Structure 1
Amino acid sequence: MLSELSNKEKVFKLLKGIETGDPDAASVVNENRYVQHNPHTGEGSLGLAELFKQIARTGPKVTMVRAFEDQDFVFAHMKYEFSSVKAAFEVFRFEDGLAVEHWDNLQPLAGPNPSRHGMLDGPQQSSDLHLTETNRTLVREYVNEVLINRQLQRLEDFVSGTGFIQHNPEMRDGVASLHEALSLRENDRYALTYTTLHRVLAEGDFVLSVSEGLWRDTHSSFYDLFRVQAGKLVEHWDTIEPIPPRSQWKSDNGKF
């Protein structure tokens, strides 16, 4: 029964329904209150049903790599094999046991990176649940101070100087590579610019930040997943997705 499942298990049921065609998967969603923030997808359950139907024709495969709960939110890290292969973050908000709001961020799967890490490998289970709020605060401060305000001299206040594992497909392990990426300039502008932090979700040592900004002059959404250990960021996964112009949105809900 649906009521016996955790919200995390409900998200797995819903997303796996893309692959299996399980007609009961849609029962996870409150059809009357569902708010869709993917700008490529129409409003409400009808838009979701149309999307699932379209994807089903490609013989999709859905893999939930890791998933976490933060009060009424579930955030999951996924591998989608549709017409192409993508890494994705999915975020759902629940009310009264049903999903009522959805955000996501997808990027074509690439890699391994120069340190031989893929976009999805690494630890999958959270720990240190008693440190959830401490770790959330750490990531929020890191994003605001280092990524948005570009206080790069503070990098090692937040990031482990001895064991930072990087899953971004273009970067290598260590603080130096991160510093290089944040310092990179193209056409007299920074290639990567964070402007706004929208949300920070956490379960134990895993923390997801949702931000927007510019990647090589393209308005983009940044989902950054961090693993925290002993008060330092020790591992990082991410997806970067262009945000289409408002004229192309299929609803007025916005990406965030």
Structure 2
Amino acid sequence: METKSNKTIVLECYRKIIRDMDLSVVNDYVHEDYIQHSPTIKDGRAGLVEMLTIMKSLPKPAEKSPSPIVRVIAEGDFVAIHLDVKFMGKQLAVVDLMRLKDGKLAEHWDAGQLYEITDSPITIINGSTVIEDSVNAERGKALVRKFYDKVLNGDRSSHHDYFTDVFIEHSQVNGLLNTQGYNIEIKRIMAEGNFVVAHCEYAGIDTVAACFDIFKLEDNKIAEHWNVWQLVPEVMAHGNGMF
């Protein structure tokens, strides 16, 4: 019997539990001691079921929406999902990060950012989606770590050394070079082929934000960047924090 990849398991989970709202299969996909970092959802599998039960009770949209999943990037025990979500009349860019253990979801982090649809051909969510497996993922992670260290937490004028000639910035507000005043700490980083995902804490004087930066690399330089940025609230539904 072929073993399912973690990416396949997560996509099945989204399809059956999130799309179809089949709560009878939650136990098959989620550990009982599931660790929750999303600030408004209670801890454990029970907290997830409580949130899903509320979602299931909400009015269904009149028209069926396309899949919100735009990018799926996986490495080892981790799977990151980049989503374009329509919810209660709002448009959100979301990143969910899952850690799996023994074929089930064991831990979850996320960030969600409201955005406005504009006439710009470059949006917060569109752009490249194809993962090129020929690219060395470890080399990509090393490049991104160096970029944070040398540029974002160092000399921003040296960013030209890290970008392709035609670099595309998808962030509508907090682009890579528009985060002055923040100390940035990478909490976890993962890569698949030419895509790198960095889960970061952006600490300013008065605010702390959780951010997922997604990078597409070309020729060992950064060609595209997306992010999802969410302020860390003072009060959460659990004691796990957002990181």
What is the TM-score when the length of structure 1 is the normalising length? 0.83
Q: Match for 2:158: what amino acid?
A: R
Query: Any conservation in 2 of the 1:113–1:169 contact (CA below 8 Å)?
Result: no
**Residue 216 (structure 2) pairs with residue 227 (structure 1):** yes
Mapped to 1, the partners of 2:189 and 2:97 lie a distance apart of 11
Measure how far apart 1:182 and its partner are. 4.2
* Pairs within 5 Å for 1:207-226: 207-214=196-203, 217-226=206-215
Partner residue of 1:45? Answer: 45
Residue 82 (structure 2) aligns with: 77
SS across alignment from 1:105: strand
Q: Which residue of 2 aligns with 1:201?
A: 190
Aligned to 1:131: 136
More helix by share: 1
2:76 equivalent to 1:87:
no
Query: For the residues of structure 2 that align with 1:42 and 1:143, how far apart are their CA atoms?
Result: 32
1:11 counterpart residue number: 10
Distance 1:216 1:119 in 2: 26
Aligned partners of 1:73 and 1:93 also within 8 Å: yes
Letter in 1 for 2:162: F
Q: Counterpart of 1:251?
A: 238
User: For the Cα contact (< 8 Å) 1:112–1:119, is it kept in 2?
Assistant: no
1:111–1:169 contact (8 Å) kept in structure 2:
no
User: d(CA) in 2 for partners of 1:243 and 1:113?
Assistant: 30
Matched, 1:165 2:152: no
SS in structure 2 of the partner of residue 139 of structure 1? helix
DSSP 3-state at the match of 1:251 = coil
Encode CA deviations 1:191-231: one digit per residue, 9 max, x unaligned.
xx133211111101000111112479432111110000001
User: Aligned partners of 1:208 and 1:113: how far apart in 2?
Assistant: 27
In 1, the alpha carbon distance for the partners of 2:186 and 2:101 equals 24
CA offset digits 1:140-175 (Å, max 9, x no partner): 11122222x231122012122x2101111248xxxx
Contact 1:37 1:253 in 2 (8 A): yes
Aligned equivalent of 1:59: 60
Find the residue that maps to 1:59 and give its secondary structure: coil
Aligned to 2:124: 119
- Which is worse superposed, 217-226 or 70-79? 217-226
Identity across matched positions, percent: 29
* Count of aligned pairs: 235
Q: Which residue of 2 aligns with 1:106?
A: 112
Gaps of 5+ in 2: none
The separation in 2 between residues aligned to 1:63 and 1:82, in whole angstroms, is 11
Q: Distance in 2 between matches of 1:216 and 1:163?
A: 33
Equivalent position SS for 2:72: strand
Does 1:30 pair with 2:36?
A: no
Note closer, same or farther for the CA distance 1:97–1:106 as it changes in structure 2 (3 Å cut).
same
What letter matches 2:6 in structure 1? N
Amino acid at match of 2:9: K
CA contact (8 A) 2:135 2:194 kept: no
- Mapped to 2, the partners of 1:72 and 1:101 lie a distance apart of 10
Distance 1:228 1:38, change over 3 A: same
* Structure 1 pair 138–36 and aligned structure 2 pair: CA distance change class (3 A): same
- The answer as to whether partners of 1:35 and 1:43 remain within 8 angstroms in 2 is yes
CA-to-partner distance for each residue in 1:24-58, whole Å, 9 max, x for gaps?
A: 54121122x31111121101011111111222214
Query: Structure 2: which amino acid aligns with 1:133?
Result: E
State the SS of the aligned residue for 2:105.
Answer: strand
The two structures have a TM-score, normalised by structure 2, of: 0.87
